[in-house]
Chain A
Amino acid sequence: MKANCWYGKQDVRVVGVPDPRIINRKDAIIKVTATAICGSDLHLYNGFVPTMEKGDILGHEFMGEVVEIGPDVKKLRVGDRVVVAFPISCGQCFFCKRELYSLCENTNPNAWMAEKMFGHSPAGIFGYSHLTGGFAGGQAEYVRVPFADVGTVKIENGLTDEQVLFLSDIFPTGYMAAENCDIAPGDTVAIWGCGPVGQFAIRSAFLLGAERVIAIDRLPERLRMAQEGGAETINYEVEDVYDLLMQMTGGRGPDSCIDAVGLEAHMHGPLFYYDRLKQAMMLESDRPIALREAILACRNGGTVSVPGVYGGLIDKMPMGAVMNKALTIKTGQTHAQKYLRPLLEKIQSGAIDPSFVITHRLKLSDAPHGFATFNRKEEHCIKIVMTP
């Protein structure tokens, strides 16, 4: 089959690879009908995520048709149309039982590696380096899905691929980010980053009862899309974000702030690695401008919600502001499985049509071009969907 594989910094290629097969008893094989490029894929693309190996298949946002099931798969049948959640979760451990699926204890074969970096390992993830298990990803014609009963949701009534594909990652991510804000009636939510996650966070914030959403970015097409979602916008290249937020909120600050930017350009690798793996990792001093701004702008006693991906260490974290303002910080990789069904219902009821975020439609074989376009934010690119 064809798959989009990583070969180095800004080097992805669609090559012929063997078809996947059932390896564990709860696996299913999915024939991919739609797959997307995530903003976090760009960290892999730009060489900032350690433990990538040449030939790793990328992609963690995908859906398709079940073509084969393992002996212990109970809920799926061959022919079912499913969307797959990006974390791989067993459904049986301490964390899965509490719906904290991205923290599953049993799905990272390389848990020892993540433990050295983070203290404990989170769940395995599709196509996102060997730190998260090295699982083959979904920018391919076929994918092997471990714990398929836990990680999938069936699509049964007439919705198109474009309407449901984003249940795999970015819609739950934006939604969980907004949910983590504990939005109360009358609240103002400020959101840094108008990429796809930010766009879903905007709409989710309104769904969860926010009265005002203020979205911050610099690209005109992204600000426009944010406005179409009901947000007031700030262009941080033109305005001072803190000053304007103070004006707009009467000096009190937004009730909650979402950092949907994350590490963006830099990724840290702490030096806690096992000697054998010591890749020369440079401890870059990243500047989490969005996180810092969010902490300073947030009103006293408010919540800073961080769906933006961070991997290592940051400098100059305003911990004094966090403490003295009694802020709550809520964060985490999305527990996507928890949101699959509730958000599918919202799509079915017409409350939201996630396909609004798509700007580019490509064939899988154009993936290298898609990555380059997305990375450089050319052609007003916001979200790319690919079909094999």
Chain B
Amino acid sequence: MIGAPTARPQLVRAMGVREIASGVAILGGLVAPGTAVWSRVLGDAVDLASLGAAMASPRSDRGRLLAAGAAVAGATILDVLCARQYSPGAERRKGPLPVTVSLVIDRSPEELYRHWHDFANLPTFMTYLEYVKVLDDRRSHWVAKGPAGSHIEWDAEITEDRPSEYIAWRTVGDSDVEHSGSVRFAPAAGSRGTLVTVELRYRPIGGSVGAAIASLFGKEPSQTIKMDLRRFKQVMETGEVITTEGQPAGRAQSTSWRYDSAVRT
């Protein structure tokens, strides 16, 4: 029917068994759904290969083979898209949230909590912030550097505060850059300081919300947050963030615009 030269009952039966097995795997839940759907893709590949081999035979009906091939190719595309949806990383591809980054810092949880809790300190290591004004023990006003010298501002409130352990905050009111964040301080294994974990959540990128968030955290927010944590580590361990801005070079700008800004733009 599909135009192949000879019917080989065993082969057809084997393919049938394969299809059924794939179906059972997908619906039965014994195997991870992503893996099960990828098995369909594998089957599709075998089908396409068989059709291709059949094309070589002079006794095959080319027209029907091509039609069958097109149908299988279409199914393959659908299967691949479906498999990707189920595979690890699908969450990330839908939109980069939530973002979780950890770093170990050689200071006590108490010291780190104290420095972070005074939000006025944040601009020393979150370089996209201009300043943060602490209003009371829960509320603060944040001003960040926007594109082309503009400013992005928002109010935030602390939603949870466990001394030397955990601080959570979120933006207040209607904001283009609506987001919530938290930082956790836990003693690191082997008395090697503190494990600091930052989590950031924001609505998926899209439209004006997306543009504002992107200008804040860059195209890869986990990268930006990690750099923030690295700078926090430098401040706490060495007293300062190391920089090459302002050093001499044989060109108009002193530092490398390409690499310094690569994450933000």
Contacts and interface: CB of A to CB of B under 8 A. Distances in A.
B226 to A, nearest CB: 7
B66 to A, nearest CB: 37
B192 interface: yes
A269 interface: no
A25 B242 CA distance: 9
B246 A21 contact: yes
A109 B243 contact: yes
B258 A277 contact: yes
Interface in A4-30: 5, 7, 13, 15, 17-21, 23-26
Interface in B169-205: 192-193
A5 B240 contact: no
By secondary structure, the B interface counts as: loop
A57 B223 contact: no
Contact of B192 (A20, A53, A54, A94): A94
A13 B249 CA distance: 12
B9 interface: no
Interface in A281-316: none
Contacts of B219: 276
Interface size class on chain B is: 35 or more
A113 B249 contact: no
A130 B255 CA distance: 10
A161 interface: no
Interface stretch (B41-49, B85-93, B144-152, B229-237): B229-237
A17 B255 contact: no
A134 B248 contact: no
A106 B249 contact: no
Given A23-B243, A24-B240, A90-B238, A276 B262 contact: yes
Contacts of A136: 244, 247-249
A365 to B, nearest CB: 14
A186 to B, nearest CB: 38
A53 B242 contact: no
A20 B248 CA distance: 6
Contacts of A17: 248-250
A274 B250 contact: no
Given A17-B248, A20-B247, A134 B255 contact: yes
A373 interface: no
Contacts of A24: 240, 242-243
A3 B254 CA distance: 13
Contacts of B254: 18
Contacts, number: 118
A3 to B, nearest CB: 7
Contact of A57 (B192, B234, B249): B249
A272 interface: no
B265 interface: yes
Contact of A23 (B223, B227, B245, B263): B245
Given A24-B242, A112-B227, A92 B106 contact: yes
A90 B237 contact: yes
Contacts of B220: 274
A13 B238 CA distance: 35
B246 A53 contact: no
A142 to B, nearest CB: 8
A19 B248 CA distance: 6
B260 interface: yes
A109 B192 CA distance: 23
A134 B240 CA distance: 18
B251 interface: yes
Interface in A46-100: 51, 53-57, 72, 88, 90, 92-94, 97
B239 interface: yes
Nearest to A14: B250
A55 B257 CA distance: 12
A149 to B, nearest CB: 11
A92 to B, nearest CB: 5
Given A15-B250, A93-B106, A130 B233 contact: no
A274 B227 CA distance: 14
A53 B251 contact: yes
26 contacts: A1-B248, A5-B249, A15-B250, A19-B248, A23-B246, A57-B250, A88-B242, A90-B234, A90-B238, A92-B106, A93-B106, A93-B237, A93-B238, A105-B233, A105-B237, A106-B230, A111-B227, A124-B242, A133-B244, A134-B255, A134-B256, A135-B247, A136-B247, A140-B248, A276-B219, A276-B265
Given A112-B226, A112-B227, 6 more contacts: A5-B249, A20-B248, A25-B240, A110-B259, A133-B242, A136-B244
| CB-based closest 3 A-B pairs | A55-B251, A5-B250, A55-B250
Interface of B: 104, 106, 192-193, 219-220, 223, 226-227, 230, 233-234, 237-240, 242-251, 254-256, 258-260, 262-263, 265
